[in-house]
A = this chain, B = another copy of it.
Amino acid sequence: MPRFLTAGESHGKCLITIIEGFPAGLRLDLQFINQELKRRQQGYGRGERMKIEHDEVEVLSGVRLGRTTGAPITFLIENKDFPSWEEIMSLEERKVEPVIVPRPGHADLGGYLKYGLEDLRDVIERASARETAARVAVGAVAKLLLREFNIDIFSFTIAIGKTRVKWEGDWESIKEKAELSPLRCPEVSGEEKMKEEIDEAREKGDSLGGIFQVVAIGVPPGLGSYVQWDRRLDARLAYAIMSIPAVKGVEIGEGFTSASLPGSAVQDEILYDRKEGFFRLTNRAGGIEGGVSNGEAIIIRGAVKPVPTLSKPLRSVHLRTKQSLPAHKERADVCVVPSAGVIAEAMTAWVIASAFLEKFGVDSLEDIKESYTTYLERLKRM
């Protein structure tokens, strides 16, 4: 089964990821991957760092003559500001003072206690959301695979701070609008309000969270399974989405809303059309019933808490003296919701691609295409 590991510190030399178990024969469009990295870095409300660095992958393995070979794929993403951090990040002796006042809302204190560290820097560097750049590169490869099967994954922002938007139109137009919006928001007037909220928060030295929605179009029925808890597609998606830094909630389909509705208003009646096969008029389930994809769009929402690093730091404790002090300050954004959406696309793409490969084979893109076609034909006969 496909697996990947990421490595790298926020201000170390680079981020790295190894992707193992992806099929041979996939055209690896580097421009697309770098474009995905760029999408992660954009967004109204992002801090200065995003302007310094334009992430790009260097391919270290697994690709030859434009295509994957079946061997592990390695991407390296340079940290362009490493030179100014080299002393702090020294491989050898200590040259600078340790960070000693943990930031509330981060892994700082928990990580320090868990690993028995002497310097919060060691937590800060790895617990940083910068790690997600590597995940976006992984997700980009997953997206490239899924595209071969007409599966498309995109995201948009539906809330920032107190502003929540409604949207209209088909998925294609929503996706387009989101891509054009600096907040990835498909609704113009809402977006204006969001910007105002962000500006206000920035002035106050505060930060804002929000909600993103990820949509996966073209997913066939039959991914995931109900036979064992850890194989449910909804569970695997929740795992992946909740693993994104700052995400504190995940919903599939109607999610929390469905909890307050009667059963008759929550399920999606089943219809049949000779051309379309089985279909639904509604999609409250968000494309997954009983842990299995049902052929409708898969819909996931994630709640992003406000970035915990504030320019007006919160109260914390000096780890040696135990004195109450303002928390350590690290360069930070005011609002990262649009980026979180892009990362969530990547994680969604990974989960769906994994389930897809488990079902249709993992070795050769050509063989997988044959298996997939055969499967779709069988579905038509059922």
Contacts and interface: CB of A to CB of B under 8 A. Distances in A.
Nearest to A14: B60
Contacts of A65: 90-94, 119
Contact of A7 (B18, B263, B291): B18
A38 interface: no
Contacts of A217: none
Interface string A345-362: 001000000000011111
A167 interface: no
A236 interface: yes
Contacts of A208: 262-263
A59 B315 CA distance: 36
A7 B117 CA distance: 30
B207 A262 contact: yes
Interface residues of A, number: 165
A188 interface: no
A105 to B, nearest CB: 4
A228 to B, nearest CB: 5
Nearest to A159: B259
Contacts of A70: 111, 114-115, 117, 122, 126, 225, 227
A263 B308 contact: yes
A375 interface: yes
A314 interface: yes
B371 A104 contact: no
Contact of A222 (B110, B254, B310): B110
Residue among A248, A262, A289 with the highest chain B CB neighbour number at 10 A: A248
Interface stretch (A46-54, A173-181, A319-327): A319-327
Interface in A117-160: 117, 119, 121-123, 125-127, 135, 159
Given A126-B71, A241-B238, A254 B316 contact: no
A366 interface: yes
A114 B254 CA distance: 24
A251 to B, nearest CB: 4
This protein's copies in its complex: 4
Contacts of A8: 60-61, 72, 74
B370 A305 contact: no
A249 B312 CA distance: 33
Given A92-B66, A366-B378, A270 B316 contact: yes
Interface in A1-29: 1, 3, 5-9, 12-14, 16-18, 20-21, 23-25
Contacts of A113: 221-222, 379, 382
Contacts of A278: 109, 317
Contacts of A125: 64, 69, 71
Given A9-B61, A72-B7, A91-B59, A112 B382 contact: yes
A240 B204 CA distance: 38
Contact of A116 (B24, B102, B162, B324): B24
**Sorted from nearest, which 5 A-B pairs have the closest CB atoms?**
A107-B290, A114-B222, A110-B292, A263-B306, A207-B263
Given A229-B347, A245-B291, A374-B374, 9 more contacts: A1-B1, A20-B228, A65-B90, A114-B359, A123-B290, A234-B243, A238-B241, A250-B250, A278-B317
